[in-house]
Structure 1
Amino acid sequence: MVRPCETDAVSVVLLKTNITRLTAKAIHAAGYHLHTIEHLSVMDAPNLEHVAVEDLTKMPRLKSFFITQAPRLQRLAPLPALPELRTFMVTTSGLLEVPSLSHVHDHHRKRSNSTLSYLQAIDLEGNHIKRLPAHALRVRADQVSLNYNLLEEVPAHAFKNAQISKLSFRGNPNLRRLDDLAFAGNLLLRQLDLSNTAITSLPTKGLEKLETLKIERTPSLKYIPSIYEFQNLERAHLTHHFHCCAFAFPERHNPARHALYETQLAIMAQRCGKDKSGSNKSRRSLPTEDITEMSTVTVDYSEEDETTTNSEEYDGWSDQQYFSDSSSFETNDYFHPPVNNTFGVPLFAECGNFSKSRRKVECSPLPDALNPCEDVMGWAWLRASVWFVVAAAVVGNVAVLLVLLTNHTELTVPRFLMCHLAFSDLCTGLYLFMLAVVDLRSYGEFFNYAYDWQYGTGCKVAGFLSVFSGQLSVYTLTIVTLERWFAITYAIYLERRITLSAAAKIMLGGWTFSLLMAGLPLAGVSDYSSTSICLPVESKNVGVAVYQGSLFATNAIAWVTIVICYVQIYRSLGGGGEKYGGRGAAAAAERRIANKMALLIGTDLLCWAPVAFFGVTALAGVPLVDVSHGKVLLVFFYPLNACANPFLYAILTKQYRKDLLTLIARTGKCNWLIEKYKLGTPPPTAHTNPSMPAPLLPLVDYQRSQSQVKENGEAML
């Protein structure tokens, strides 16, 4: 073995070692001169439990200290003064708390800023750190990484009197709490990474000089502070689209703070105007309090601080991974000594360069087609229209349910089915009502409420109601149509009629299917939180695309079935009176029946066809409308059946009016209305059986033969 010269700098690498204690004696026994060591690395040390940190002082030239894959190493004593140390890394080991590094450069603290020593990198990634002791990181460092640990909170003044340029907590899934003063006292922080954590809020004290903020894949963050809290922010990589809306529209995000900013802007403009008109000065001194809130003013310093460097030097930080190897920090000196008293020295505004334009922040993810920076309803006319739709859907279906459920007549299959149809359509009305209420409460500043709505219980309930009601309504309409077709086709075979018990089993299947389709997004298949209208419209993978395709397919199959059945019913009734030459009461009744069938099919087509068409194009990857315009479909087309069904299938029928008057008569009031109805009702003819109404009235039994239907159709419609 060739021993190194006592004057040469050496790098010591202990690979796959079985040592339990790392001491100067052990290193010396390996044949190294301690005072020549500049880089000390211990890799894959499964038995290492203790590091004699006091022995590191025997290595006066030590610049980097690196330990990795030492699972039994749980604690390190406070490091002593190591004036030449630039890189300290303990990764993928068993550390339970951050070791104290506050004394590493103690003997240099009294020197001038230009000669102060600093650490290029502190990397404690991949340990089991749960605790961040106070003052443990009271250091001057360019980069500090606490990534992928088990931290639960960052306490107040954790970095007091520290000068850290880049700080990362990425991948701490248990990190939920940041104290309001967590970053207070850090004199230099320019880049902060809190991605993949569980924080719910972001304190701003100590982040005034922040240039880059990364909080990606952190859905728990509810609210982003105002842009006025970040005086130097240039880039923000966030989780939610609506957080970028807050930066784009500060006047709506924080009206009070924006009003203060506008006031100060006016003061600045006034002073610059007076300066130009009253003297030949091109720049004037401004009090500190007028500058601290000004985020759009171009500011020049009276003397350029020699330690200030261009922020472009930081551009690579957001793209690179922390501390891939220790040697990379020797050639990339990112550390900047602090600019002292940024707002404490006289500042001068160049009035010729005075700008009133809003400061731009490069923010992602940008608002997109699914999450635009707008209110739930978007347009004023849409906001007003939705209340009329809600009123029609809710009032109409409640009226149907009220009459059907309180009537003491025998429960028939058509009545039973109509109860289910009215209930499903009522759920659609309730869904739209929830959207309308949220839109009213968050008018003008929805992105401030977006988190609580989209990720709260309200949006999940609304989305569940929407999918459940849509599927159950389509299913019930299909069964109602099939029951009509079956009753007319086999009118003379009374024993073949659908029984109430059979109808109950059929509807049980419909409820099961509808609950399943509505519950899948709650179980992780698609997501109700992807947009403000709480519909599972975002396609993230093949499973979600299959789910969404199933929703469209069931609607398409149901509509085709309904159309075929109504065409068959129409043909079985004689094709609009053609059999009778287009004359007589039967022909007129057939024409009215045909018109009603056309109306039923038309409302179904208007309800499902636009939604299905644009939905299929979206699934195919070529969406023709965004969510903003899709809301028109939501308000005017999607709930069309919910508004029309109670009138077409119940309220406008004579049987419903009869049941309603029966209910009124039981109250003993409005007798004049009942008498008027009786006087206006013609007596039954010899060929009319009042107990057998027309086949298109689902609330009563059908005619026993097609001939009876034709003869009495006009009287019953």
Structure 2
Amino acid sequence: PADQDWEDFLLEFEDEPKPQRSVRCSPAPGPFRPCLHLLGSWMIRGGVWLIAAISLVSNSLVVLSVFLSPLSSVTPPKLLIGLLALVNGLMGVWSGWLAAVDAWTFGSFWRFGVKWDSSFLCRLSGFLCLFASQTGLFLLTAAALERCLWSGAAVRSDRPDGSSGCLLTPPAVRLSICVCFLLGVAVSLPPVITGNTSTSFCLPLPSSSSSLAFAVSLVLFDSLCFLIMTLAYIRLYCRSNKAPPTSDEEVALTRHVAWLLFSDCLLYLPVASLSFSSLLRLPVAGPEAAKGILLLVAPLPACINPLLYLLFNPLAREELAALTTHTCTGGATKRRGAAGGEPLDLTCDEDAEKQSCDSTQ
């Protein structure tokens, strides 16, 4: 009987409902104001992690191939491409930042949401995203104009290097780079100063008249940049038959900038459509679709731009191969020196051989 009573007690205890802790967020949560998870669905979460990884790795390879490869001479177009990769890497840092915050607050974002939205780190995250996207667009515009001016100088001088073009001097290119970075800072600072972020992703989405005016002016300015780049390349291709034969490197760089312009323009169309639909209050895309565009489509140029250079530009493969060989050779030389061996000085041997031949003659 005692065993029967104990079994009945256990059954009654198991039948009692266990208290469940329910979380109620106020105001009502949504795609841009999450309650439990910052990134929401696993598809967006996986996409953000993938974008961060590809962007950081591929842009790092482009920067190494442009600035550190022994075969690479940093000409004005390659300088612009290398800096574009450096800025695109910042977009990968932003995506990785959001992914890290989502992982840290997984399932309990409601505990940190208010602090995160009003924190300096959130503002810095928004600044990083805006600065990377806008400065990358300005650098791409400068690269397209540089290619157009280089082609015009080559036609006028009948020389493939275009050395007679006064607008193509390295100081002028450096000045244009400084202007691009200053414009990027000027465009990205207002949301940081005013704290004008209406989402947990720290982006200045239109929620008031001032933020709406800022978003619209930004979209119009970006559209003007794409229009300038398109007109510059149309002019370049219209006079390509008049230009003298050019080197393979210049042709590859011109083609690469054209691919960048085409891909970035295609990826910018959904972002521009989303901005104009918000301006006109048209239900073109729901909140979930808008969230996917901002987190997955807007950062895509930071992944595609370096991949286009690494996969379809023969210069990149040669530069990376030379950098790898140089690094391995340098490491082997250091190990040989540490072991007490003396590395062979091929230059001295060649000079001695030439001197002996001259003396024989």
Checking the alignment, whether the CA contact within 8 Å between 1:371 and 1:627 is kept in structure 2 is: no
Counterpart position of 1:512: 182
The one-character-per-residue Cα deviations of 1:456-476 (angstroms, maximum 9, x if unpaired) are 232112111100001100000
The one-character-per-residue Cα deviations of 1:413-459 (angstroms, maximum 9, x if unpaired) are 11221222011101111000001111122222222221232222321
Counterpart position of 1:422: 85
2:204 maps to a residue whose letter is P
> Pairwise mapping of residues 386-425 of structure 1 onto structure 2 (< 5 A)?
386-407=48-69, 410-425=73-88
Q: Of 471, 477, 481, which aligns to 2:134?
A: 471
**1:368 CA displacement:** 4.8
3-state DSSP class of the match of 2:285?
Answer: coil
Checking the alignment, whether the CA contact within 8 Å between 2:126 and 2:192 is kept in structure 1 is: no
2:207 paired with 1:539: yes
3-state DSSP class of the match of 2:168?
Answer: coil
Checking the alignment, whether the CA contact within 8 Å between 1:431 and 1:462 is kept in structure 2 is: yes
3-state DSSP class of the match of 1:536?
Answer: coil
**1:623 CA displacement:** 5.1
Taking the aligned partners of 1:502 and 1:538, their CA distance within structure 2 comes to 37
3-state DSSP class of the match of 2:62?
Answer: helix
Taking the aligned partners of 1:400 and 1:600, their CA distance within structure 2 comes to 14
Counterpart position of 1:568: 235
Instruction: Name the % identity.
Output: 25
Taking the aligned partners of 1:666 and 1:482, their CA distance within structure 2 comes to 34
Checking the alignment, whether the CA contact within 8 Å between 2:123 and 2:192 is kept in structure 1 is: yes
3-state DSSP class of the match of 1:463?
Answer: helix
Counterpart position of 2:359: none
**1:639 CA displacement:** 1.6
Taking the aligned partners of 2:20 and 2:314, their CA distance within structure 1 comes to 71
3-state DSSP class of the match of 1:491?
Answer: helix
Counterpart position of 2:266: 606
Counterpart position of 1:632: 292
**1:560 CA displacement:** 1.6
Taking the aligned partners of 1:268 and 1:618, their CA distance within structure 2 comes to 53
Aligned-residue CA RMSD in angstroms? 3.4
Checking the alignment, whether the CA contact within 8 Å between 2:206 and 2:278 is kept in structure 1 is: no
| Greater strand content | 1
TM-score by length of 2: 0.74
The one-character-per-residue Cα deviations of 1:360-405 (angstroms, maximum 9, x if unpaired) are 98x8533356424452221112211222211111111111112223
Taking the aligned partners of 1:507 and 1:294, their CA distance within structure 2 comes to 58
TM-score by length of 1: 0.39
Counterpart position of 1:616: 276
Q: Of 650, 659, 677, which aligns to 2:319?
A: 659
Checking the alignment, whether the CA contact within 8 Å between 2:267 and 2:298 is kept in structure 1 is: yes
Checking the alignment, whether the CA contact within 8 Å between 2:59 and 2:85 is kept in structure 1 is: yes
Taking the aligned partners of 1:535 and 1:658, their CA distance within structure 2 comes to 39
Q: Of 145, 148, 155, which aligns to 1:485?
A: 148
Counterpart position of 2:173: 503
Counterpart position of 1:142: none
2:29 paired with 1:367: yes
Relative to 1, partners in 2 of residues 1:538 and 1:565: Cα closer, same or farther, differing over 3 Å? same
**1:294 CA displacement:** 10
Taking the aligned partners of 1:470 and 1:378, their CA distance within structure 2 comes to 23
Checking the alignment, whether the CA contact within 8 Å between 1:478 and 1:558 is kept in structure 2 is: yes
Say which one has the larger Rg. Answer: 1
**1:552 CA displacement:** 0.7
Checking the alignment, whether the CA contact within 8 Å between 1:400 and 1:651 is kept in structure 2 is: no
1:482 maps to a residue whose letter is L
**1:553 CA displacement:** 1.3
Relative to 1, partners in 2 of residues 1:506 and 1:457: Cα closer, same or farther, differing over 3 Å? same
Taking the aligned partners of 1:663 and 1:532, their CA distance within structure 2 comes to 42
Taking the aligned partners of 2:68 and 2:254, their CA distance within structure 1 comes to 32
Relative to 1, partners in 2 of residues 1:539 and 1:448: Cα closer, same or farther, differing over 3 Å? same
Moved over 6 A (4+): 266-269, 592-598
Taking the aligned partners of 1:391 and 1:648, their CA distance within structure 2 comes to 16
1:472 maps to a residue whose letter is T
2:199 maps to a residue whose letter is T
Checking the alignment, whether the CA contact within 8 Å between 2:90 and 2:132 is kept in structure 1 is: yes
Gaps of 5+ in 1: 1-265, 272-289, 296-357, 576-585, 587-591, 672-717
**1:620 CA displacement:** 2.6
2:114 paired with 1:451: yes
3-state DSSP class of the match of 1:429?
Answer: helix
The one-character-per-residue Cα deviations of 1:643-669 (angstroms, maximum 9, x if unpaired) are 111232456322222322332332344
Checking the alignment, whether the CA contact within 8 Å between 1:614 and 1:625 is kept in structure 2 is: yes
The one-character-per-residue Cα deviations of 1:297-323 (angstroms, maximum 9, x if unpaired) are xxxxxxxxxxxxxxxxxxxxxxxxxxx
3-state DSSP class of the match of 2:205?
Answer: coil
1:640 maps to a residue whose letter is L
Taking the aligned partners of 1:447 and 1:475, their CA distance within structure 2 comes to 38
The one-character-per-residue Cα deviations of 1:472-516 (angstroms, maximum 9, x if unpaired) are 000000110111111112214322151111111111111111111
Counterpart position of 1:552: 219
Taking the aligned partners of 1:373 and 1:628, their CA distance within structure 2 comes to 15
Relative to 1, partners in 2 of residues 1:270 and 1:367: Cα closer, same or farther, differing over 3 Å? closer
Checking the alignment, whether the CA contact within 8 Å between 2:32 and 2:201 is kept in structure 1 is: no
2:301 maps to a residue whose letter is N
Taking the aligned partners of 2:234 and 2:46, their CA distance within structure 1 comes to 38
The one-character-per-residue Cα deviations of 1:318-372 (angstroms, maximum 9, x if unpaired) are xxxxxxxxxxxxxxxxxxxxxxxxxxxxxxxxxxxxxxxx8x98x8533356424
Checking the alignment, whether the CA contact within 8 Å between 2:94 and 2:129 is kept in structure 1 is: yes
**1:627 CA displacement:** 4.3
Checking the alignment, whether the CA contact within 8 Å between 1:389 and 1:635 is kept in structure 2 is: no
Of the two structures, which has the highest relative contact order with CA contacts closer than 8 Å and spacing of 6 or more? 2
2:179 maps to a residue whose letter is G
> Pairwise mapping of residues 639-658 of structure 1 onto structure 2 (< 5 A)?
639-649=299-309, 652-658=312-318
Checking the alignment, whether the CA contact within 8 Å between 1:614 and 1:623 is kept in structure 2 is: no
2:88 maps to a residue whose letter is D
